[in-house]
């Protein structure tokens, strides 16, 4: 007799869903369906291979891949042996990948063959690596010291050794920091399984749902679409990106998608297309938005595109996944609000004196709950700034670093960020990281990068450059360096050349007067 017990580890939901729905499509990747039974088998095989290669409980394993079945299998295989998955955006360039591999002392790297020019140089210098697995045809790359992912995930492996408890680390999610170096946000099995339950509850999801994924798995908003789907025993319809909307529309209709997660850039594109030629998806029952504010004027058009859908406006950050959401029934009543705390958590606003604000007053948002991060990997000072002492002994609160105000009903309104981090296309960008690249261009004397309001991007990146006197420097020269060394979403949209940049009394560059 099977004894029902609570889920404690993140990957246990896969094994449970495979038992309940073995023949059901777990993932439909670019039109190709994989059942829960097949998904589980690949995960167990790959997990066994990682064990055989010496990857142990607590080891960090970097997943540097596109949105593919292989990427999803990798995440669950790493979890299944008690290791920690570190998912990295496939747009990441060599230097940052090398930094992450070294910073987390990665034991394994799993990647796609088409990314070999990016990952090959760093793996040669990563002393901690025990194995490298590559998805795709590696036969033409004899110089790659790697194992075929396809072979490893399809070759039967021995039994998995039990590993882990809820307080163990499950994921490191690297996010841009004010210093320019990315910081690894540490989440445990407990924090992630808790927030999954909360998300599923307020989004009113079930095993009958079919969730669309066009956002990167390296973006935690995209990652949780996979985790929620597997947790429920639902179906994930996965595409690499939203680059070809016509194909996405076909997938939505063909696979009867019910949940459409997006960011303002995607919704702006949909609205622009709808104005040229109207279309609708009556099968979609939930539309969710986060990463940047969804403009109130877009909601009526989204209701025409998704006539049967509940529209959720939300606010979150990697450090706690999600902080608050607006009940969809209030989207017309309070179109500028992001609502209240997600189920099972608390949020509140403190002023500069550490006192709770009154309705209408602006202050810093704090988050309390099981879903907040353990801290930043190898960054105790940053951790101390983000996790503050609570009035309850021994408890930590997450300081979001964002300004909010609250209305009489307790609903929240985002007012702005307190740091320099730019949020563009749903991604966090450190101005320092962009400035370091631009400063390396010959002929650049001074540089400053800021975010400027943008209807589609949320914020657009603008770069001010002061050249060395007499240097013939062009925008093309600076943009070329950015394209070569930065992810696409980090490349500035605007460049402006100036004679000099404003300074403070101490001689530091002041960004206050730049726009």
Tokens encoding 338: 């992001």
Q: DSSP letter for 160, please.
A: P
Angle (CA) 159 82 90, round 5°: 110
CB 25 within 8 A of CB 33: yes
Tokens encoding 274: 């709808």
Q: Give dist(CA 256, CA 266) in Å, integer.
A: 20
Tokens encoding 178: 């004010």
Backbone phi, then psi, for 439, in 5-degree steps? Answer: -65, -25
CATH code where residue 492 lies? 3.30.300.30
Query: Would you say the C-alpha torsion 235, 237, 240, 242 has a positive or negative sign?
Result: negative
Tokens encoding 414: 């985002």
How does pLDDT run across 9-33, given as a tens digit for each residue?
999 999 999 999 999 999 999 999 9
Is the residue at 377 inside a domain?
no
Residue 70 exposed, middle or buried by CB count within 10 Å (0-12, 13-18, 19+):
buried
Left if phi > 0, otherwise alpha if psi is -120 to 50, otherwise beta: which for 354?
left
Q: DSSP letter for 339, please.
A: B
Beta bridge partners, 448, equal 464
Is the residue at 437 inside a domain?
yes
How does pLDDT run across 113-124, given as a tens digit for each residue?
999 999 999 998
H helix or E strand, kind and range, residue 385: helix 380-386
User: pLDDT band at 4, cuts 50/70/90?
Assistant: low
Q: DSSP letter for 453, please.
A: E
Q: Give dist(CA 104, CA 127) in Å, integer.
A: 12
Residue 183 pLDDT greater than 80, yes or no: yes
Structural domain harbouring 88: 33-189
CATH code where residue 150 lies? 3.40.50.980
Q: Which residues contact 485 (CB under 8 A, 6 or more apart)?
A: 93, 95, 437, 440
How does pLDDT run across 66-116, given as a tens digit for each residue?
999 999 999 999 999 999 999 999 999 999 999 999 999 999 999 999 999
Residue 505 pLDDT greater than 60, yes or no: no
Is the residue at 287 inside a domain?
no
Backbone phi, then psi, for 407, in 5-degree steps? Answer: -90, -175
Residue 1 pLDDT greater than 50, yes or no: no
Q: Which of 189, 214, 238 is the last residue of a domain?
A: 189
The SS3 call for residue 72 is helix
Q: What percent of the chain lies above the pLDDT cut of 90?
A: 72
CB 283 within 8 A of CB 310: no
Backbone phi, then psi, for 495, in 5-degree steps? Answer: -125, 135
Q: Which of 174, 189, 204 is the last residue of a domain?
A: 189
The interaxial angle of helices 264-276 and 245-254, nearest 10 deg, is 90
Q: Which residues contact 195 (CB under 8 A, 6 or more apart)?
A: 224, 320, 321, 322, 342, 370, 371
The SS3 call for residue 203 is helix
Beta bridge partners, 324, equal 315, 341
Nearest to residue 107, comparing CAs of 86, 129, 91? 129
pLDDT score, position 3 = 56
CB 149 within 8 A of CB 132: no
Is the residue at 148 inside a domain?
yes
Is the residue at 142 inside a domain?
yes
Q: What is the DSSP track for 285-331?
A: -EEEE-SS---GGGHHHHHHHSTT-EEEEEE--TTTS--EEE-GGGT
How does pLDDT run across 112-161, given as a tens digit for each residue?
999 999 999 999 889 999 999 999 998 888 788 899 999 999 998 877 87
Residue 285 pLDDT greater than 60, yes or no: yes
Nearest to residue 344, comparing CAs of 165, 188, 200, 231? 200
Number of domains in the chain: 2
Q: Which residues contact 21 (CB under 8 A, 6 or more apart)?
A: 36, 207, 233
Q: Which of 148, 173, 189 is the last residue of a domain?
A: 189
Q: Give dist(CA 274, CA 262) in Å, integer.
A: 16
Is the residue at 149 inside a domain?
yes
How does pLDDT run across 292-336, given as a tens digit for each residue?
677 777 899 999 999 999 999 999 999 999 999 999 999 999 988
Is the residue at 236 inside a domain?
no
Q: What is the DSSP track for 373-434?
A: -SEETT-HHHHHHHEEE-SSTT-EEEEEEEEEEE-TTS-EEEEEESSS-EEETTEEE-HHHH
Q: Give dist(CA 295, CA 303) in Å, integer.
A: 13
**H helix intervals, 387-511:** 431-439, 475-485
Is the residue at 319 inside a domain?
no
Cβ-based neighbour number of residue 472 at 10 Å = 7
Q: DSSP letter for 500, please.
A: -
User: pLDDT band at 506, cuts 50/70/90?
Assistant: very low
């Amino acid at each position: 007799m099977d004894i029902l017990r609570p889920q404690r580890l993140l990957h246990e939901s896969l094994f449970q869903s495979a038992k309940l729905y073995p023949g059901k499509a777990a993932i439909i990747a670019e039109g190709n369906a994989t059942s829960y039974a097949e998904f589980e088998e690949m995960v167990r095989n790959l997990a066994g291979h990682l064990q055989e290669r010496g990857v142990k409980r607590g080891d960090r394993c970097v997943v540097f891949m596109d949105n593919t079945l292989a990427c999803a299998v990798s995440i669950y295989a790493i979890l299944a042996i008690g290791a920690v998955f570190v998912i990295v955006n496939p747009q990441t360039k060599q230097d940052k990948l090398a930094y992450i591999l070294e910073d987390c002392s990665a034991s394994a790297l799993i990647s796609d063959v088409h990314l070999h020019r990016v990952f090959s140089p760093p793996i040669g210098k990563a002393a901690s690596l025990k194995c490298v697995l590559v998805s795709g045809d590696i036969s033409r790359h004899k110089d790659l010291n790697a194992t075929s992912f396809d072979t490893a995930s399809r070759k039967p492996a021995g039994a998995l050794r039990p590993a882990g408890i809820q307080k163990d680390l499950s994921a490191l999610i690297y996010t841009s920091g004010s210093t320019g170096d990315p910081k690894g946000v540490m989440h445990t099995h407990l924090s992630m399984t808790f927030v999954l339950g909360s998300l599923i509850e307020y989004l009113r999801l079930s095993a009958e749902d079919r969730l669309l994924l066009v956002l990167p798995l390296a973006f935690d908003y995209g990652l949780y679409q996979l985790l929620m789907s597997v947790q429920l025993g639902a179906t994930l319809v996965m595409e690499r990106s939203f680059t070809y909307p016509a194909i996405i529309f076909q997938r939505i209709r063909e696979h009867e998608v019910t949940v459409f997660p997006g960011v303002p850039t995607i919704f702006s594109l949909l609205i622009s297309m709808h104005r040229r030629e109207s279309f609708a998806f009556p099968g979609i029952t939930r539309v969710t938005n986060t990463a940047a504010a969804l403009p109130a004027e877009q909601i009526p058009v989204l209701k025409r595109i998704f006539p049967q859908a509940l529209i959720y406006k939300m606010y979150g950050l990697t450090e706690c996944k999600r902080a608050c959401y607006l009940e969809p029934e209030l989207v017309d009543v309070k179109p500028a609000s992001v609502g209240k705390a997600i189920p099972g958590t608390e949020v509140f606003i403190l002023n500069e004196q550490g006192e709770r604000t009154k309705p209408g007053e602006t202050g810093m948002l704090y988050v309390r709950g099981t879903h907040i991060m353990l801290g930043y990997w190898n960054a105790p000072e940053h951790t101390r700034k983000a996790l503050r002492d609570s009035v309850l002994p021994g408890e930590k609160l997450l300081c979001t670093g964002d300004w909010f105000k609250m209305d009489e009903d307790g609903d929240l309104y985002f007012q702005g960020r307190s740091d320099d981090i730019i949020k563009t296309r749903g991604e966090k960008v450190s101005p320092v990281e962009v400035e370091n690249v631009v400063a390396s261009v010959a002929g650049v004397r001074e540089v400053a990068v800021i975010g400027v309001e943008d209807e589609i991007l949320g914020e657009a990146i603008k770069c001010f450059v002061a050249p060395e006197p007499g240097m013939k420097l062009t925008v093309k020269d600076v943009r070329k360096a950015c394209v070569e060394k930065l992810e696409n979403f980090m490349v500035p949209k605007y460049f402006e050349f100036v004679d000099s940049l404003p300074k403070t009394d101490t001689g530091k560059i002041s960004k206050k007067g730049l726009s």
